[in-house]
Amino acid sequence: MSGQRFLVTGGAGFIGSNFVHHLVARTDATVTVLDKFTYAGNAASLDGLPADRVTTVRGDICDTALVDALVRDADVVVHYAAESHNDNSLRDPAPFVATNLGGTFALLEAVRRHDRRYHHISTDEVYGDLALDDPARFTERTPYRPSSPYSSTKAGSDLLVRAWVRSFGVRATISNCSNNYGPRQHVEKFIPRQITNVLCGERPRLYGDGRNVRDWIHADDHSSAVLRIIEAGRIGETYLIGADGERDNRSVLEMILTTMGESVDAYDRVPDRAGHDLRYAIDGSKLTRELGWRPEHGDFARGLRATIDWYRENERWWRPQKAATEAQYRERELQP
């Protein structure tokens, strides 16, 4: 792994930027970030990184000429770039199809041409959802059953990767991770939305009855798992990444409120998300068994406190996005 050149797509987003920081801290790799800087990309997320090791290119993963040149100059490609928000995909699926499917296709063709190692970042949402009272969890063998435009385009992108491995011998691995939390997550997402609502004096918003369960993992743990897979994962394999962090949305919201010194019921219930997945749950035992990976941030209450502190201390990072994000949510709440 020494001295390798990484191309990280979506490296100005929440999880991609976490991985770039992780890579710089834990390896001697050099990194090129390819990011379109959509509403979700934030240059400040890459602040403090050494200029002699990290280069940022503003561009689209659907731009085949640009992608070809950048892939040619890399040893390893790690593909994070995506349209990532379910609610947005319900309002306008078009960019999800273009970026998540078209962009992955462009990258796969380039890694095929140049025979580069490729790691594909995906989500547990490709497996659909589980019943609240079902003891089952997702494994690498669970059939694909995505629900939303977002998750169906991620599922399609995973299938492209599998086909390129089998048909063209592309050296790829795939990881499907559960819900991430931590610093630098866009304020459209559940946890940062509620934290910043409280900081702005706005009431948090819970969809439906709040019984939906998400399996939370700290973004630092996601990054260490991805690096481990790149170092030691078997080509062609899929690895699920999770940290046994199942919690229902209402409990998470109540934890945010109490941690921030608010009354436990100081939130509003708003109309449910269309097609809202009930429960996600990851069985991550393959990754532990095969590659010896374990999460280091298993204490959710502690991770949440640190995340709340980060949003308190980094208002300059999130404030510019807050008003526009909430304006879009207000439109959604007004829809019949």
- Which residue of this chain has its Cβ atom nearest to ligand TDX in the complex? 123
DSSP assigned state of 5: E
Would you count residue 99 as binding ligand NAD (CB under 6 A)? Answer: yes
Residue 174 interacts with, from ligand NAD, ligand TDX, none (CB under 5-8 Å by kind)? none
Residue 214 binds: one of ligand TDX, ligand NAD, none (C-beta under 5 to 8 A by kind): ligand TDX
Question: For residues 189 and 205, which CB has a smaller minimum distance to ligand NAD in the complex?
Answer: 189
Q: Is 8 in the site for ligand NAD (CB under 6 A)?
A: no
Determine the Cα–Cα distance for residues 98 and 298; give it in Å rounded to an integer: 35
Tell which one of 8, 20, 130, 177 touches ligand NAD (CB under 6 A). 177
Is 121 among the residues that bind ligand NAD (CB under 6 A)?
A: yes
Q: What whole-number distance in Å separates Cα of residue 176 and Cα of residue 18?
A: 17
Of the candidate spans 30-38, 110-118, 228-236, 245-253, the one that interacts with ligand NAD by CB under 6 A turns out to be: 30-38
With CB under 6 A as the contact rule, the residue among 10, 146, 245, 303 that binds ligand NAD is 10
Q: Which one of 35, 60, 83, 124 is the catalytic residue? A: 124
Rounded Cα–Cα distance for residues 2 and 76 (Å): 12
Question: Which listed option, ligand NAD, ligand TDX, none, makes contact with residue 61 (CB within 5 to 8 Å by class)?
Answer: ligand NAD
- CA distance linking residue 311 with residue 296, whole number of Å: 22
Question: What ranges make up the beta strands (E) of the chain?
Answer: 5-9, 30-35, 54-58, 76-79, 117-123, 172-177, 180-181, 205-207, 213-215, 217-218, 238-241, 246-248, 268-270
Strands 172-177, 117-123: pairing kind? parallel
Helix axes 300-313, 190-200, angle to 10 degrees: 50
- Among the listed residues 103, 128, 149, 182, the single contact to ligand NAD using CB under 6 A: 103
User: CA neighbours within 13 Å on the CB side: how many for 93?
Assistant: 11
Residue 249 CA to residue 335 CA, distance in Å, equals 22
Question: Which one of ligand TDX, ligand NAD, none is in contact with 30 (Cβ closer than 5 to 8 A by kind)?
Answer: none
Residue 124 annotated as catalytic? yes
> Backbone phi, then psi, for 225, in 5-degree steps?
-70, -40
- The amino acid at 38: T
Please state the closest distance from residue 148 (CB atom) to ligand NAD, in A: 12
Alpha helices in 179-299, H assignment, sequence order? 190-200, 219-232, 249-259, 285-291
* Contact residues: ligand TDX, CB under 6 A: 84-86, 123, 125, 179, 189-190, 193, 205-207, 212, 214, 249, 273
**Cβ nearer to ligand NAD, comparing 102 with 210:** 102
- Catalytic residue selected from 80, 118, 127, 150: 150
Q: Answer with the entry of ligand TDX, ligand NAD, none that 212 interacts with (C-beta below 5 to 8 A by kind).
A: ligand TDX
Tell me the Ramachandran region of residue 42: left when phi exceeds 0, alpha when psi lies from -120 to 50, beta otherwise. Answer: beta
Whether residue 28 lies in the annotated active site: no
The binding track of 129-168 with respect to ligand NAD, each residue x by CB under 6 A or -, is -------------------------x--------------
Question: Do the Cβ atoms of 5 and 29 come closer than 8 Å?
Answer: yes
- Of all helices (H) and strands (E), which one includes residue 109? helix 104-114
Catalytic member of 35, 60, 83, 125 = 125
Residues involved in catalysis: 124-125, 150
Residues that bind ligand NAD (CB under 6 A): 9-10, 12-16, 34-38, 40-41, 60-62, 80-84, 99, 103, 121, 123, 154, 177, 179-180, 186
